[in-house]
Copies of this chain bind each other. A is one copy, B any other.
Amino acid sequence: MRDEPLDVVGIGNAIVDVLAQASEAYVTEQELPKGSMTLIDMNRAESLYASMGPAVEVSGGSCANTMAGLASLGGRGGFIGKVRNDQLGGIFRHDIRATGIEFATPPATEGPPTARCLILVTPDAQRTMATYLGISVQLGPEEVDHELIRRARVLYLEGYLWDSPAAKQAFLEAAETARAAGAKVALSLSDPFCVDRHRDSFRELVHGHVDLLFANEAEIVSLYQADDFDAALQQVRGHCEVAALTRSEKGSVVLSGEEVHLIDAIRVGELLDTTGAGDLYAAGFLYGYTRGRSLHDCGRLGSLAAGEAISHLGPRPARPLTELAARHGL
């Protein structure tokens, strides 16, 4: 078990999501940029939580969601991220392991509590996120399990890590190990505001150190401060081996050298909550990629997993993605 090869090892913030329905007016009143992620401190987290409606708690975290999706498709993976030894930490730990993903980062016995992301789902199914990072930002090089990374074909990193200097360092050391072991390095740009905060270093990364890039329209446009999606697409071409750019209901565009694939969105059910859509697109794509599938099929697997994610409340698959993929001939 402990030395079986893995498809993907991910590093990300270990977060429990707190999801509640909210009106457009409430989101505006709270001055949260709709559809994006805002970092908040503990005080703001408490006051926002106190005024939010009844909520549901589900394990989340962008990269961790991707790993859960990979497992649901039958892929093998590992996750590195930091929780406290508190009740939310126990929930995160249980859920990621219950998917079959290896998760051995020891919980911290002191410091701030486990991270949580307050997610307001508006009637249009859009999610607006306010994250209190808690202990998760204390993830540092000492938590990077190099043995785990050496077993993986792909090391997958979330851009959100860039908000913490220690995690950034962990990210870079992990990438070095992965490259030395012959693995590919994948990055998700995570959020347009996150790109804003770290544009220069993200560009440097994408142009020099990343093999697979995941970004949505707002993120790739922000990365290049481009006028529109097409302009951004021209800029990213050729800079990394593969770029998978998602565009919500317009589907996705997959670029690799001279290859360009336009992949349609796949609707699995009623649109209920977009939380996790991008994370699950990456899950489907990486599953196909690590199995040597065509880029077209990788994109279709991404669309399908994202389609499932948005058909229910919460970011992780509510039904086994293997069955769904089989039903769609994937």
Is A241 interfacial (CB-CB < 8 Å)?
no
A53 to B72, CA, bound (A): 12
Main secondary structure on chain A at its contact with chain B? mixed
Residues of B within 8 A of A57 (CB): 56-58, 91
CA of A53 to CA of B68, assembled, Å:
12
B residues near A96, Cβ cutoff 8 Å: 54
Cβ of A184 within 8 Å of any chain B Cβ, yes or no, is no
- The reply to whether A55 and B95 contact each other, CB–CB distance below 8 Å, is yes
CA–CA, A54 and B52, complex, Å: 25
A86 at the interface (CB under 8 A from B): yes
Does A94 contact B59, Cβ atoms closer than 8 Å? Answer: no
Beta-carbon nearest neighbor of A71 in chain B: B54
With A57-B57, A86-B87 as known contacts, state yes or no: A94 contacts B49, CB within 8 Å: yes
Q: Contact flags (1/0) for A101-126 with B, using CB distance below 8 Å? A: 00000000000010000000000000
Interface centre among A54, A59, A87, A98 (most CB of B within 10 A): A54
Chain B residues contacting A61 (CB-CB under 8 Å) are none
Interface 1/0 per residue, A167-209 and B, CB below 8 Å:
0000000000000000000000000000000000000000000
On chain B, the residues within 8 Å of A87 by CB distance are 86-88, 113
Does chain B have a CB within 8 A of A248? Answer: no
Instruction: Check if B59 sits within 8 Å of A54, measured CB to CB.
Output: yes
| Total identical chains | 2
| Interface assignment of A10: CB less than 8 Å from any CB of chain B | no
Task: Give the docked Cα–Cα distance between A49 and B56 (Å).
Answer: 18
A49: nearest chain-B partner, CB-CB: B94
Which residues from chain B contact A52 at a C-beta distance below 8 Å? 94, 98
Q: Who on chain B is nearest to A19 by CB? A: B56
A84 to chain B, nearest CB (A): 10
Q: Is A314 an interface residue (CB 8 A)?
A: yes
Q: Give Cα A58 to B86, complex, Å.
A: 17
A129 CB to closest chain B CB (Å) equals: 18
Q: Does A99 contact B (CB under 8 A)?
A: yes
In chain A, positions 38-63 with a C-beta closer than 8 Å to chain B are 49-50, 52-59
A316 at the B interface (CB under 8 A): yes
Query: Which B residue sits closest to A99, measured CB to CB?
Result: B54
Q: Which residues of B contact A86 (CB under 8 A)?
A: 87
Taking CB atoms, residues of chain B closer than 8 Å to A68 are 54
Q: Which chain B residues lie closer than 8 Å to A50 at the CB level?
A: 94
